[in-house]
Chain A
Amino acid sequence: MATVELKNVSFTYNKSMKNAKKALDDISFRIEGGITGLIGHTGSGKSTLVQLLNGLLKPDSGTVLIDGTDIWKEPKKIRDVRFKVGLVMQYPEHQLFADTVREDIGFGPKNMGLSKEEIKKRVEESARFAGLDPEVLDKSPFDLSGGQKRRVALSGVLAMDPEVLILDEPAAGLDPAGRREILGGIKKFSREKGTCVIIVSHSMEDMALYCDDLIVMANAKILMHRPCAEVFSEAELLSSVGLDVPQITKIARLMQKAGADIGLDVYTVDYAVDKILELERTKH
């Protein structure tokens, strides 16, 4: 399992400007495998953080460790870090460029210097994970729908088979079915390949469904780094930084107030149903 570790990382954009404000302030955390969600209000520094993880940005101070090695130890080899840590940026569908979907997905593997057969294999495999039909592969990416373009861009990173996969708001602006398919595909990819995944999102519902742990960011700092259930039981703290809990957690809170206690760590509907049935049984 890959590990991702940040030690006292700070970062400021436009340092030369007088009123420059820290985008990340003394961030430290450690992730070992699994799917970690990164949540926070707009401007809290999520996108900045993920760009530090694959060396697109360099920390002003502190170290970024992937599998225990400082990624900036040998700045010349930063490209290898990028193959190891795949990053799907926000709205990745705006970055497609090739004549065919196949070629676009194969861009990363080609840069890695893989053989033709290996590239073909990876393109087809990653397209499957992203939920793309095989016949789409030979079309122009510009003829596809928005949701399909998003999948092509996602496949482009999956095809590099990274040890750490980072997705910046992968489901933003998609319909519920599209969200489920994309996030489901990522979860499946992670489980099959043993990839360590970090998902940035606004949607508490999505986070509750797909993540194991959550990192909550507020004002350039980390507020919490704990398992989903524990994070969502802190509704007051979350709302104090402009975040919300999933709808079902809100219902659980209301139920507790009304005298039907199913606990505050409820964050998926299925779990809530179990708890309610259990409560029913104990009553009778």
Chain B
Amino acid sequence: MRSDITFGQYIEGDSLFHRFDARIKIITSILFIVTIFLAKSLTAFALIFVSITVFVIMTRIPVRMMIKAMKPLLFIIIFTALINILWFKGDTLLVQFWIISIYLEGIFNAGIIIFRIIVLIIATSVFLTYTTTPLALTDALESLLKPLKLIHVPVHEFAMMMTIALRFIPTLIDETRKIINAQTARGADFSSGGLIKRAKAMIPILIPLFVSAFRRADELAVAMECRCYTGGEGRTKMNVPKTNAKDWIFFGVIILIGAAVVLLNIFLPVYTFSI
């Protein structure tokens, strides 16, 4: 049962991006993000624009959802853009009044930064959050971080904690809603009064929530022990993730895009940016 507070952004689908191995998606997303920041020349930006557009089309996720992913970061986008416009000193002065001077280069820079942030958000959505379930992500992280076991980092335990936390977020959201409803039914008032009164009004929600979280933790611990869970040693997976040709082809494509961006910067520089 899902409430209107959706957690995790996964959108069910059957596109190539949904089917790529999660580990490959994590690595390629890092590579692609690096590529975004390597781009300096307008030709390089054009290539990135084309690739991200193709990726979005490939996922078959509505553009509306991409815009939704940007909403929470809208403030940061606008803020960085403003700072760039107002503080950047260039050669072509456009407007000057009071202590503000706006240069053409500042506006270009702001545009590039906005472009980078937007592509960054869309790329992480397309590569990871929209097309990979949180569980697949945790599994992939565990698999990628396995080498750290050599220096005694409890990778499996961290992954298990993440998995459990992810598993219980919807449950706790549900529980919170029920508790709020129950206390509201008894006339609790969360929306009036000063700060202290409002903080106090949270007590009837927080205490039952903590009690229930601990109760669930306890029950889960018992259930896991009953099934002989003793941690990562000697544990095998039911679904062993496997990479195949399509994953490596995709990996190759991302590398190629990265290489092409560097080459375009050098050999086809059109209006190169310093940032």
Which of B3, B179, B187 contacts A83, CB < 8 Å? B187
Tell me, yes or no, whether B232 is within 8 Å of chain A by CB.
Answer: no
Which of A14, A86, A111, A156 contacts B2, CB < 8 Å? A14
Interface residues of A in 2-17 (CB under 8 A from B): 13-14, 16
Q: Which residues of B contact A51 (CB under 8 A)?
A: 181
Can you name the residue of chain B whose Cβ is closest to the Cβ of A50?
Answer: B185
CA distance A94 to B208 in the complex (A): 6
CA distance A142 to B2 in the complex (A): 29
Contacting pair B178 A89 (CB below 8 A): yes
The 21 sampled A-B contact pairs (Cβ below 8 Å) are A13-B4, A14-B2, A56-B185, A79-B187, A86-B185, A89-B181, A89-B182, A89-B185, A90-B178, A94-B175, A95-B182, A96-B208, A97-B204, A107-B186, A107-B188, A108-B186, A108-B187, A111-B188, A111-B189, A142-B211, A157-B185
Interface residues of B in 154-213 (CB under 8 A from A): 175, 178-179, 181-189, 203-205, 207-208, 211-212
Contacting pair B179 A112 (CB below 8 A): no
Contact with B along A11-30 (1 / 0, CB 8 A): 00110100000000000000
Q: Which residues of A contact B187 (CB under 8 A)?
A: 79, 82-83, 108, 111-112, 160
CA distance A250 to B158 in the complex (A): 55
Q: Which residues of B contact A108 (CB under 8 A)?
A: 186-187
Given contacts A14-B4, A56-B181, A89-B178, contact A97 B186 (CB under 8 A): no
Contacting pair A97 B212 (CB below 8 A): no
CA distance A83 to B184 in the complex (A): 10
Which of A16, A56, A94, A96 contacts B184, CB < 8 Å? A56
A interface residue count range (under 10 / 10 to 19 / 20 to 34 / 35 or more): 20 to 34
Contacting pair B208 A97 (CB below 8 A): yes
B interface residue count range (under 10 / 10 to 19 / 20 to 34 / 35 or more): 20 to 34
Q: Which residues of A contact B183 (CB under 8 A)?
A: 95, 107
Contacting pair A92 B182 (CB below 8 A): yes
Contacting pair B208 A157 (CB below 8 A): no
Beyond the given pairs A13-B4, A107-B186, 5 more chain A to chain B contacts, judged by CB atoms under 8 angstroms and listed by A's residue number, are A56-B184, A89-B182, A94-B208, A95-B183, A157-B185
Interface residues of A in 93-111 (CB under 8 A from B): 94-98, 107-108, 111
Measured CB to CB, the closest approach of chain B to A146, in angstroms, equals 11
Tell me, yes or no, whether A238 is within 8 Å of chain B by CB.
Answer: no
Which of B186, B207, B208 contacts A156, CB < 8 Å? B186
Tell me, yes or no, whether A148 is within 8 Å of chain B by CB.
Answer: no
Among A13, A95, A112, chain B packs the most CB atoms within 10 A around the CB of: A95
Measured CB to CB, the closest approach of chain B to A4, in angstroms, equals 15
Measured CB to CB, the closest approach of chain B to A264, in angstroms, equals 38
Measured CB to CB, the closest approach of chain B to A198, in angstroms, equals 14
Measured CB to CB, the closest approach of chain A to B198, in angstroms, equals 14
Can you name the residue of chain A whose Cβ is closest to the Cβ of B201?
Answer: A111
Measured CB to CB, the closest approach of chain B to A82, in angstroms, equals 6
CA distance A83 to B189 in the complex (A): 12
Q: Which residues of A contact B3 (CB under 8 A)?
A: 14
Can you name the residue of chain B whose Cβ is closest to the Cβ of A95?
Answer: B182
Among B2, B4, B187, chain A packs the most CB atoms within 10 A around the CB of: B187
Q: Which residues of A contact B189 (CB under 8 A)?
A: 79, 111
Among A83, A97, A111, chain B packs the most CB atoms within 10 A around the CB of: A97
Contacting pair B185 A94 (CB below 8 A): no
